[in-house]
Structure 1
Amino acid sequence: MGDFNVINGILRTAHSLFKKYRYEFRSDSLWSEIKFVLEKISQPLTNLLTATIALAETHANDRNALTVIYSSLGLICKIFFSLNYQDLPEFFEDNMATWMTHFHTLLTTNIQCLESSSSDDAGVMEQLKSQVCDNIGLYAQKYDDEFTPYLPMFVTDVWSLLIEGSDADTRRRAACDLVNTLSQNFEKRIMEIFEQYLQVMLNKYAENPKQNWRSKDAALYLVTSLVSRGATQKKGVTQTSQLVSIPQFCQQHILPELQQSDVNNLPVIKADAIKYVMTSSSTVSLDFILI
């Protein structure tokens, strides 16, 4: 893996050089520089992405090698974000299928030895999947026409990230951010799909709350994120999504959790319920919330 450590170092340098494209004002000189970089790096970067994913399969049982490989994949994804931020380059538009297919692979790959056991400290896989979500969100927000064919695939991927449990907070936050971005551009389709997922999760929880509490945890995480899309610090939620009726959802799925006599029963769900109430308090009357 000696050569790949060198490649990893080169990628870090490239990322530090190109990330300025994310925040600099667009100008002729900036775009000339980006165009020059794209001509030199687009094809090699794409080839490297494909080769690195293949290399991960070759070294599937070598934790040290996988750490370097997936760290490099994370850097490749960061560079992709920077190169695509100002505008959609012709090369990446022509090769969108390749990149989106690989993004799908990365979102659905689980390498347990590279995942963090802490919800506070993101591991290599959490960081990688978070960046992939950012990349997909960038395309969904800025290049929605070109991205539309890939929407169903990534909706399924994002839902998988959301139900992986509360020990994967970094990925779930990134997934919810992506859902928010997708819903801004494809709200009707997104809400139709996630309404079905949401009902499945809530029904699963109702069958056996103690065993299936993660299902409701994921459902509440998603709903709270979506209903707060229009939130501001002073006014709270100022616009809501089409996913749920906030008062009705509160009545059916939030208040019963808070009204349980055993305060120690399912503490994660109670915390989720309290967060939902705090987030949606501006659209639900205080009398309705008080229990």
Structure 2
Amino acid sequence: MPRPPHITRVREYPLHPLCGRHLVLDRRSLNHTTPEIDPAKLRPVEWMPKVPILDQSNLDAQGIDVAQLLPGAPAAKELGSCTGNGATYALSAVLDSGRLEEIGLHTSDSVAAEEFAIRWYSGGTQEDQWRDVEYPVTDCGSSGLGVSRYGKARGWFDNYRTATSALGVLSALQTGPVILGLPWHRQFFEPDHNGFIDSAGWERSPLDGGHEVCGAVLETLRLTSGGDVDLDRTVLALPNSWSPSWGIDGWFRMRLSTYQTLRREVDVYQFRLAA
């Protein structure tokens, strides 16, 4: 399929059973970036998802039959639906409970929420206009842009904007959660005892795929003596979608310096409601 002219960059990552995110950048999104604010005005914040921890890694154990959920889908015990999962977390933090029930995202049922995420993942693959394949025919992965476009088209939120710098990410988090797509290194699969995926040496571990997560909590914020953000000591907390048994109750931590190192391979979107 010819790439649309507004798509400026595509990077496809190796498909991993638990990682299905690709990097797709749209030049038009740069017109809707998060305004960066004075670091002195930043505060730790949390935007807790209203859904339980999701699990794309043990579908059969949850009784999720993807062939029944999406006709034409081949049977699968796990699915590269991380873009839909990260987006589902973010949306559940943005909308109130009544609106979530209206759109079919049931916050008290982890299985129903995972099924919602899988449908969103499928919709994201349909919005990814840079290739011919889509899910449910192929578990091909999707992009943060694709799921953002799909959610907006469904009317679940009014618009979305991006962040393209460390300060931009922190600025966005002052007003709501973000979805964050990043290259996933092998060491990231095993957080340390404090939940950090980026302990020393992670840069030397192999790249296993691309993964989408929800930036839900700015847990620790530190500034340097000069008033800039101290990237090494500023920490995000993020829910993952590999069951509550992974990491710390399904969550992990990441230093902002890791975002900065990976920045050219990261994309960040924030769902916005009209004022």
**TM-score of the two chains, using structure 1 as the length reference:** 0.22
TM-score normalised by the chain length of structure 2: 0.22
Quick check: which one's strand share is greater? Answer: 2
Larger Rg: 1
